């Protein structure tokens, strides 16, 4: 999601939840994203995942920003759309994991613990390095 604020472009980024990411900031944020289900249309999956991770239902038009490959080998496809969202309204799914490790105790954590708006330069710094090209692609897109 992007918006025009104060004459400039801002991008909504998501900070992953859970104890591993709790103290990480620069290079840790991501586009709201998730897994593509078997046979699912990629844009439909992106919209579903955005809503699951933020509580906001995206609406087009959508600009295709292409694909990047993460260090893990996972492929991420992204689309941009213009909108506005109050980060205080964040609502997302929870996941469970054993925490602390080897304790036998399962704890729930939000998939996304916060979202925030960033200008393009700050967004490049905050994003996982493999996702930073999406910022440049958004700035070049006809919709911006």
Q: State the pTM of this model.
A: 0.92
Model confidence band, residue 21 (pLDDT cutoffs 50, 70, 90) = very high
Q: How far apart are CA 114 and CA 49, in angstroms?
A: 15
Q: What pLDDT sits at residue 144?
A: 53
Which contacts of 125-129 are long-range, i.e. CB under 8 A and separated by 24 or more positions?
125/26, 125/27, 126/13, 126/25, 126/26, 126/27, 126/28, 126/29, 127/13, 127/27, 127/29, 127/30, 127/31, 128/27, 128/28, 128/29, 128/30, 128/70, 129/27
pLDDT of residue 141: 85
Q: Which domains does the chain have, with CATH numbers?
A: 2-140 (3.90.79.10)
* Average pLDDT over every residue of 5-27: 94
- Give me the mean pLDDT over the 118-131 stretch: 97
């Amino acid at each position: 999601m992007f918006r025009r604020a104060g004459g400039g472009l801002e991008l909504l980024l998501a900070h992953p939840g859970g104890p591993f990411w709790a103290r990480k900031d620069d290079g840790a944020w991501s586009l709201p994203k998730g897994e593509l289900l078997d046979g699912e249309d990629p844009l439909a999956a992106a919209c579903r995942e955005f809503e699951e991770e933020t509580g906001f239902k995206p609406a087009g038009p959508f600009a295709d920003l292409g694909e990047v490959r993460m260090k893990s080998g996972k492929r991420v496809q992204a689309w941009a759309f213009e909108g506005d969202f109050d980060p205080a309204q964040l609502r997302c799914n929870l996941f469970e994991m054993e925490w602390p490790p080897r304790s036998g105790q399962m704890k729930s954590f939000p998939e996304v613990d916060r979202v925030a708006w960033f200008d393009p330069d700050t967004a490049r710094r905050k994003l996982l390095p493999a996702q930073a090209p999406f910022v440049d692609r958004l700035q070049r897109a006809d919709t911006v």
